[in-house]
Amino acid sequence: MTELPEKNVPFVNPRAAHDFRGRTCSIVSVGSYVPERRLSNAELEKLVDTSDEWITTRTGIKERRLAADDQFTSDLAAEAAKKALTNYKNTGISVIELSHRSGPIMQLFDAASNRLRRLMKIPENYEILWLQGGASLQFTMVPQNLLPDDSGADFIETGLWSTKAITECNKIGHANIIASSKDSNFSYIPVDFKQNYDAVYTHITSNNTIYGTQYKVFPEIRNTDSFLVADMSSDILSRYVDVSKFGVIYAGAQKNMGPAGVTVVIIRKNLIGKGYRDLPAMLDYDVHARKKSMFNTPPVFSLYVVNETLKWIDKLGGVEAIEKINARKAKKLYVEIDRNSIFRSPVQSKDRSMMNIPFVFNNADMDESAFLEFCQKRGLVTLKGHRSVGGFRASLYNAMPEKGIDLLVSAMQDYEKMDFKH
């Protein structure tokens, strides 16, 4: 922190001489941002039966600021992030520089947790942990914390990420693959399986980013002593989920919640602190729960962006509203894929994802790179499908504007009209 001068001593800018020794931070700038587009009460008078006096006396509002047509959520978030980087909550310093145990940061964590609990309707008997390491770290933390020695868990294998979770579990206990769609390159969600009576939990991946499948109905756990664990990294907050049906939900933030660097773990409290093995503190749910996710310095800035994202979802009408938007976006693209004579979906229709939509050419001889170049010229990028599936993939995460799907549909229609006979 920059030292303040004594009284009656002229202030000297500590950076004026470009001598940064012994100085860890200083205020570089302070700024604010609102969208440029204005909507005044006078303009509203022309649109609806109202008046400036009526609005002002009841709300105190004289004008509103509206995002421009070409201004996306990411643009607003970027401006908000810039503000946080310079002067968070009028503290005079950056959200990155504040101590994670300071009042403003503790309030930030509480706000994010409370907002997530409300948006997802998380029961009070569940703990919300904000951790690091992504979902990949949870592949090992889940069995380390929840599996007693010489015990096992059931897995439904629906793609690469569930396969990775299986591999990590086998290092700690026994991973029983009770169902798999590997036989068809993970083009469906298997529903025929028999759970092991002694399985501690059953693990699923709710949405499969590479293959474009998604659970519509979650498996029922027959054994009352067992519970369901779900990796929801790629579809958390995209639709309503009954949290009470799960023992653990975990998710990396980078798809629908915020930037990479923060992971949320929603865990039923009676599953914490079993003490099955002597774990390193960083891998122990009990440690993180007792320390309120403050055992080590958390990803503060990532959490700040998560909280801003949760605010945005809230303003849209919550998860239920987001789900309707996502369903509408996905339907538009699937209708076009099924209609278009040169494209098809490799996914069984009953299991199609709202988040990730792969599609391929009907004619395997057609040049995929040509279509990708065609789309790029229209501002449509990152459509190349995963190497294990090929073709193309559109990811329709929460922040993807519907206009983007409309542009892709239009591109597919125009490409269909081209002559590929010669």
Q: Are strands 126-131 and 343-344 parallel, antiparallel or unpaired?
A: unpaired
For CATH 3.90.1150.10, the residue range(s) in the chain are 319-416
Percent of the chain with pLDDT over 70: 89
Catalytic residue set: 161, 231, 255
pLDDT at 45 over 80: no
Q: Fold for domain 103-307?
A: Aspartate Aminotransferase; domain 2 (3.40.640)
What's domain 319-416's architecture?
Alpha-Beta Complex (3.90)
The conformation of residue 39, written as its DSSP 8-state character, comes to E
Classify residue 150 by burial, with Cβ atoms within 10 Å: 0-12, 13-18, 19+. exposed
Find out whether 239 and 220 touch, Cβ atoms under 8 Å: no
Q: How confident is the model at residue 196 (pLDDT cuts 50, 70, 90)?
A: very high
pLDDT at 352 over 70: yes
SS3 per-residue string spanning 93-107? CCCCCCCCCCHHHHH
For CATH 3.40.640.10, the residue range(s) in the chain are 103-307
Least confident of 54-68, 148-162, 283-297: 54-68
Nearest to 264 by CA among 225, 242, 300, 293: 293
pTM: 0.79
d(CA 269, CA 283): 16
Alpha helices in 271-376 (DSSP H): 285-290, 300-316, 319-339, 368-376
pLDDT at 89 over 50: yes
Find out whether 203 and 156 touch, Cβ atoms under 8 Å: yes
